Amino acid sequence: TGARSRSPTPSLSSLPEDAPHAKILRLLRVLHKLNVIEAERPEAVKRSLPESAFVNNKLTAKLTRQLEEPMIVASQCLPDWALDLPQHFPFLFPFATRYNFLQSTSFGYARLILKWQSQQTRGQDSSRRDDGVGFLGRLQRQKVRISRKHILESAMKVFELYGSSSSILEVEYFEEVGTGLGPTLEFYSLVSKEFARKDLKIWRDEDPLKSGVHVFHPHGLFPAPISPEDIANDGGQKRTHIFRVVGQFVAKAMLDSRIIDMSFNKIFLRLALGEEVVLTLETLKLVDADLANSLEKLRSLATVRSSGDKMHKVVKDQVNIEDLEVDFTIPGYDIELRPGGKDLTVTSDNVEEYIHEVVEAIVGSGAKLQAQAFREGFSKVFPITDLQAFTIDELVMLFGNSDEDWSPETLSEALKADHGFNVESRAIRSLIEVMTEYDAPSRREYLQFITGSPKLPIGGFRGLNPPLTVVRKPHEPPLTADDYLPSVMTCVNYLKLPEYSSKEVLREKLGVAMREGVGSFHLS
Q: Please identify every residue annotated as catalytic.
A: 491
262 to 102, 191, 250, 457, 486: CA distances (angstroms): 21, 9, 9, 13, 29
Q: Which residues pair with 223 in a beta bridge?
A: 203
DSSP string, 327-392: BSB-TTSS-BSSTTGGG-B--TTTHHHHHHHHHIIIIIHHHHHHHHHHHHHHHTTS-GGGGGGS-H
Q: Which residues pair with 168 in a beta bridge?
A: 141
- The full length of the chain comes to 524
Orientation angle between helical segments 109-122 and 95-106, nearest 10 degrees? 130
Q: How many C-beta atoms surround the C-beta of residue 141 within 10 A?
A: 8
Q: CA 215 to CA 200: how far, in whole Å?
A: 10
Q: 41: which DSSP letter?
A: -
φ/ψ of 467, rounded to 5, equals -65, 155
Q: CA 378 to CA 372: how far, in whole Å?
A: 10
What is the amino acid identity at position 286? Answer: L
φ/ψ of 160, rounded to 5, equals -65, -35
Are 54 and 91 a contacting pair, CB within 8 Å?
yes
φ/ψ of 122, rounded to 5, equals -75, -25
Q: Which uninterrupted H or E stretch holds 173?
A: strand 168-173
Q: CA 182 to CA 189: how far, in whole Å?
A: 11
**Helix count (H) and strand count (E) of the chain?**
21, 6
Q: 130: which DSSP letter?
A: -
Sheet holding 487-489, edge to edge: 416-418, 469-472, 494-497, 487-489
Q: CA 94 to CA 54: how far, in whole Å?
A: 9
Give the three-state DSSP class for 104.
helix
Are 273 and 402 a contacting pair, CB within 8 Å?
no
Select from 507, 503, 473 the least CA-distant residue to 488.
Answer: 473
